[in-house]
Chain A
Amino acid sequence: MAATVKYDEVEVGQELPARTYPVQRLDLVKYAGASGDFNPIHWNEQFAKSVGLPDVIAHGMFTMAQGGRYVTDWAGDPGAVVDYGVRFSSMVVVPNDGGTEIEITGVIEDKLDGNEVVVALTARSDGQKVLTRAKARVRLA
């Protein structure tokens, strides 16, 4: 697998550039179709509110996918990810007008044997941490 980032060139504590990913209702409809998760809390505002949610919320897996994209764009090859886990700590609320954004930052938390590093991610939306304990283990070049 061809990660482009070299193991020898990263250090523990190194911060990766922050990136921001916009989220619109249309993205959630597309994600529902592609993933097969048609829970109406992700596309029907009336239904979402009827079950006590503030508004339509993004699929947790949509948010996790943005974190995956963040890591793989940095590493250079999605095949370099050997372990990826997150906790969904808060909901990404997606209003009809204008949608919202997910802002992701990362830091090299550890360097392991076999050219592997642990990238710790933080994802925020509307001031809330939406992913915690988010870590990807990535095999670098």
Chain B
Amino acid sequence: MALNRDFIGRAFPPSEPYEVTRLKIREFADAIGDLNPVYRDPEAAKAAGHPDVIAPPTFPIVISLTGAGLADPELGLNYAMVVHGEQRFEYNRPLRAGDVVTAESTIAGIRSIGRNERLDLQTVITTVDGEHVCTSHNVIIERGA
């Protein structure tokens, strides 16, 4: 189904503050099968120059969709037909335990590709103190029926 073009350029309000915890980082690292000690052992992280355990590079996806408002029925996105098209993260620094961050998303574009619909979403992740941590560029594809 065609997505609502009125949403192009729509900026969503910042998400509720999200606290990054050691336990959540460890759970995520376990789920991707990555045993790197900088994700689980604060001492190993400090030895590598980080103040606390850091999160794997793809962890920000957990936060980046929290404020995106893609569930708005007016947008017309059929979640069952959605696949991920592209993803990119630009990092100012790694997310780490103790960070409290918000995600601010903007729908950068919507267009048709054949029978599919393509939606480009940009999300800026910032600490509540105003430090930019990373920016996510997300392309989702709604497959045509």
Contact = CB atoms under 8 A, between A and B. Distances in A.
Nearest to B79: A39
Contacts of A36: 62, 65
B87 interface: yes
Contacts, number: 120
A51 B142 CA distance: 12
Given A86-B88, A88-B83, A35 B39 contact: no
A5 interface: no
Contacts of B80: 39-41, 47, 51
B120 to A, nearest CB: 13
A109 interface: no
Which label, helix, strand, loop or mixed, suits the secondary structure of the B interface?
Answer: mixed
Interface string A79-101: 10111111110010000000000
Best-surrounded residue of B39, B50, B58, B86 (most CB of chain A within 10 A):
B58
Contacts of B28: 34-35
A84 B84 contact: no
A85 B137 contact: yes
B57 A27 contact: no
Given A79-B93, A83-B88, A72 B36 contact: yes
Interface string B34-49: 1010110000000111
Interface string B43-82: 0000111100010111001100100000000000001111
B31 A78 contact: no
Given A39-B79, A39-B82, A84-B88, A79 B36 contact: no
A61 B47 CA distance: 28
Given A61-B87, A65-B56, A79 B31 contact: no
8 contacts: A34-B62, A60-B83, A64-B58, A64-B87, A79-B38, A83-B90, A87-B86, A88-B83
Q: Which 9 A-B pairs have the closest CB atoms?
A: A85-B88, A60-B84, A34-B31, A65-B32, A30-B31, A68-B57, A65-B58, A34-B28, A79-B94
Given A52-B143, A79-B54, 15 more contacts: A1-B49, A34-B30, A35-B31, A61-B58, A77-B38, A77-B49, A78-B36, A78-B39, A78-B54, A79-B48, A79-B50, A83-B88, A85-B87, A86-B88, A88-B85
